[in-house]
Chain A
Amino acid sequence: MIDKRKLKVLRKHKGAMFGLALLAALILFSATVGLVSPYQPGHMDAERLMEKPSKAHLLGTDDTGRDIYTRLGHGGRVSLLIGLAAVGLSMAIGVPLGALAGYLGGWMDMIVSRVLEVMLALPTILLAILIAVAIGKGMSALILAVGIVGIPQFARQVRGSVLALREQDFVQASRALGASPARTLFREVVPNALGPIIVLATLGVGSAILTAAGLSFLGLGVETGTPEWGAMLHEGRRAVERGRHLAVFAGLAITLAVLAINLFGDGLRDALDPKAEKKA
C-alpha cells in the first residue's frame, strides 16, 4: 500500500515534512509538560490572576491563576486525543458502512445513502451542537458528537472507491475463486481503497480538532475546568481585555496543530495520488 517509492515522494515533500516536524514538536511539548513545568494543570494561585508572561509563568496565568504553559501542554493531550478518537469513531462506522453500500448496492446502498443525506442536511457545527444537546457535556460526549458528524465523509469516500473497484478483474477473480463476499470485500476491495481513506483520516483529525474546539469555545464541549484548547479560548474570551494572552496562546496552539496536520495530509495525498506517481 505505502511502498518505498511513495514514502520517498513523501519524504521529499517539503510541506509534509514541515507539518510532521511541527506535529512532533507539539506532541513533544505536550508529552514533556509534566517534566518541564513545576505546576499542576488545575493548580490555582489566587495571588497571580491573569498575569502576563514572566519567568515564573512562561506564558502567564489565566483568570483563576493557573499556569497557561502547563494547561496548554495538558490541553494538547486532550485536544489531540479527542481528534484521534473522533476520527477513529467516524472511520469505524463510516468505512464499513460505505464499503457495504458500494459493494452490495441495491437496497443497502439506498438506505445508507439516504442516512448520509440526512446527516449532511445540517451544517456540521449545528449537527454537532444538536448531538451535544441531546447527550450532554463531557469528553466522551464531545468525542461522540464530533465522531458522528465525521461519518458521512468516510462512508462517501469508501462507497465511491468500492464502486469503482467492484468490477475490476482482481475482484472478479477473487469471487471466481470462491471467496465469500465478506472476504472479497475486506481482503481485496477495501485494502485497495485505503489510500484516500488514510488521507481523509489524516485531514479529518484536523477538522475534528477544529469542531471540538468550536464546541468547547461555545461552552458545549468538555466539562468546565478541563484543560482543552477550545475551552481555554472560551475562558480567555470571557476575561475580555485581561484574557488576551490566554486567548492568543490557546488559539495559536489549535492553529499550529491543525496546520501541521493539514500540511502533512496534503503531502500524503500528493504521495499516494496515482497520478503523482507517474510524474515521480
Chain B
Amino acid sequence: MIRRLLASIPLLFVVSFLVFVLSRAGGRDPVDAILGEKGTPEARERVTREYKLDRPILVQYGSYLEGILTRGDFGKSYIMQEQPVAEQIGRRFPPTVELATAAMLIAILIGIPAGLVSAVWRNTWIDYLVMGVSLLGISIPVFWLGLLLIFALGGWLPIGGNIDPSLIIDPHTGFMLIDAALSEEPGAFGDALRHLVLPAMTLATIPLAMTARITRASLLDVMGSDYIRTARAKGLSGLKVVTRHAFRNALIPVVTLLGLEFGYLLGGAVLTETVFSWPGMGTYVVDAVFQTDPMAICGASIVIATTFIAVNLLVDLLYAFVDPRIRYT
C-alpha cells in the first residue's frame, strides 16, 4: 500500500507539469495571457519577475510548484477578480463536493436496488425496463438531460446556483447545506436543498445507470458460481441465497465503480455545473477557459487531478478492505 502511495507522487508531478504546459500553450505571450488586457508596463515587469516568465518553462514550473508546496500558493488570477487562485478554489471546491456527494447518494440508493431487482427477476419485463432505462442513461448527454429537467421542472424548482441570492448565508464551511442550516435565515436550509435537486439528479444519471448495470452483471456472475449452487443445494430459498451469499461478493466491482465515478464527479461535473450555473470547480474551469486565465485553469486542474488520484487510491484501499483476497504489499 505504501508503495502505491509513493507511486502516486511522481504521477502528480508529471500530471501537474502537463497541465502547466497545456494551460500556457495556445500561442499567446504568457505575460499577455496572465494579465489579459490590464498589462501596464510595471505590471508586466512584476508578473515576469514573479512567475519567472523570462526563464525556461521548467524553471517557471519549478517556481510555481515551490509556491504550491511551501505556501499553498497557486499564483494570482489577474483576470478573474484579481484574487489568489487558492482562495477562489477554496470557495469553489466545497459546492462541487456537495453536489457530487448528493449525486452519488442518489446513484447508490437507486442504482444498487435496481440492479439487484434486475438480476433476481432476470429476463422479465422489470429487467428489460431497468436495463433499457440505464442504457438510455449512459447514452443521453447529461447537459441535454439537465436542460430537459429545467424545461420540465424549472417552474417548481430553482434552476441556477446553490442558494437564493437574497438570502445572506455566512460561509462557515463552504458547504451550502450546512451553512444554510447554521444560518439565521428562515427557510434557508430548505432553499439550499431545493437548489440541489435538479443538478444532483442530472449529475447522478451516469453513475446511477452504470451502478445498476454493474450490480446486475456482477450479481449474475456470482450467482453462477459453485458456492451459490452449494447454498441452493442446501435448500436455502432463492432470496436468502442472494442476500446472504451472493450480494456481498457481487458488491466488490460495484464499490470499485462507485469510487471511480465519485472521483470523476469531483472533477468532471463541468457540464452539469455549467447547465445549472453551480458555483463549483467545473464552472470555475470553464469561466477560466473563456476568460483565458492560465493561472486559474492550471491551479484548478491540478487540484482536480490531485483529488482524482487521491480518490482512486482510496478506492484501492477500500477494495482490499471489501475483498480480503486482495492484499497490497
Contacts and interface: CB of A to CB of B under 8 A. Distances in A.
Decide if A and B are genuine partners.
Answer: yes
Interface of A: 114, 117-118, 121-126, 129-131, 133-136, 206, 210, 213-214, 217-220, 230, 233, 236-237, 244, 247-248, 250-251, 254-255, 258-259, 261-263, 266
A133 B21 CA distance: 11
Contacts of B305: 121-122
B68 interface: no
B308 A251 contact: no
A262 B11 contact: no
A122 B301 contact: yes
Contacts of A122: 15, 19, 267, 301, 304-305, 308
Contacts of A220: 289
Interface in B4-63: 11-12, 14-15, 18-19, 21-23, 25-27
Contact of A218 (B263, B270, B301): B270
Interface string B274-288: 110000000001100
A160 B159 CA distance: 44
A233 B308 CA distance: 29
Given A122-B304, A218-B270, A247 B297 contact: no
A258 B142 CA distance: 12
Interface in B247-291: 263-264, 267-268, 270-271, 274-275, 285-286, 289-290
A44 B148 CA distance: 27
Given A122-B267, A125-B271, A217-B143, A262 B135 contact: yes
Listed residue (B22, B148, B263) with the most chain A CB atoms within 10 angstroms of its CB? B22
Which interface residue of B22, B139, B286, B290 has the most chain A CB atoms within 10 A? B139
Contacts of B140: 251, 255, 258-259
A117 B11 contact: yes
6 contacts: A121-B309, A133-B22, A214-B270, A220-B289, A233-B141, A255-B141
A126 B270 contact: yes
Given A121-B15, A122-B267, A247-B147, A213 B141 contact: yes
Nearest to B17: A118
A214 B19 contact: no
A178 B263 CA distance: 47
Contacts of A237: 147, 275
Interface string B129-153: 0000001101111011001100100
Contact of A217 (B264, B271, B289): B271
Interface residues of B, number: 41
Contacts of B304: 122-123, 126
B227 to A, nearest CB: 19
Nearest to B143: A217
A254 B268 contact: no
Report, nearest first, the 4 A-B pairs whose CB atoms are least far apart. A251-B144, A123-B268, A134-B25, A259-B139
Contacts of A251: 140-141, 144, 147-148
A230 to B, nearest CB: 8
A138 to B, nearest CB: 13
A259 B135 contact: yes
Contacts of A130: 19, 22-23, 297, 301
Given A124-B268, A125-B270, A133-B26, A258 B139 contact: yes
Contacts of A123: 263-264, 267-268, 270, 304, 308
Contacts of A213: 141
B301 A217 contact: no
A242 to B, nearest CB: 12
B203 to A, nearest CB: 13
Interface string B147-167: 110010000000000000000
Given A247-B147, A251-B144, A259-B135, A118 B270 contact: no
B100 to A, nearest CB: 11
Contacts of A261: 139
A123 B308 CA distance: 8
Given A122-B304, A206-B139, A247-B151, 19 more contacts: A117-B11, A118-B15, A121-B12, A123-B267, A123-B268, A130-B19, A130-B22, A130-B301, A133-B23, A134-B23, A214-B143, A217-B143, A218-B270, A218-B286, A236-B147, A248-B151, A254-B144, A262-B135, A263-B135
Contacts of B22: 130-131, 133-134
A126 B144 contact: no
A210 B267 CA distance: 17
B147 A233 contact: yes
A248 B19 CA distance: 35
A270 to B, nearest CB: 12
A129 B139 CA distance: 21
Nearest to B294: A133
B136 A259 contact: yes
B288 to A, nearest CB: 9
Given A233-B143, A254-B144, A218 B308 contact: no
B261 to A, nearest CB: 11
A103 to B, nearest CB: 24
